[in-house]
Amino acid sequence: MRLIYFTFLLIYSSQVFAYLDPGSASLIIQGLIAAVAFGITTISFYWSKLKSFFGFKPSDKKNEKEENES
């Protein structure tokens, strides 16, 4: 029901006389960049947990190097 109401408001909105100065636009862009940076940082912190959740086993790089050297 909320989705229908929101769609109705977007389609049948009245004309608004507003001014967005460059400061507002840069604030919006800065917020988008911060959201992307937060998402990338969060994924990098929990990357091993995400891999194990989807069934990938973490590889032990030290053991692989030792086996290759021997």
Q: What is the pLDDT of residue 33?
A: 98
pTM for the full predicted model: 0.49
Residue 28's pLDDT is what? 92
Percent of the chain with pLDDT over 90: 23
Per-residue pLDDT in tens (0 to 9) along the chain, 70 residues: 888 888 888 787 677 777 778 888 899 999 999 999 999 999 888 887 878 888 776 566 655 555 566 5
Task: Determine the Cα–Cα distance for residues 48 and 56; give it in Å rounded to an integer.
Answer: 9
Q: What is the pLDDT of residue 56?
A: 73
Which residues does 48 contact at the CB level (< 8 Å), separation at least 6?
Answer: 58
- Retrieve residue 2's tokens: 């909320």
Query: What residue type is 49 in one-letter code?
Result: K
Domain ranges of the chain: 19-69
> CA 24, CA 56: separation in Å to the nearest integer?
44
Q: Are 48 and 61 in contact (CB under 8 A)?
A: no
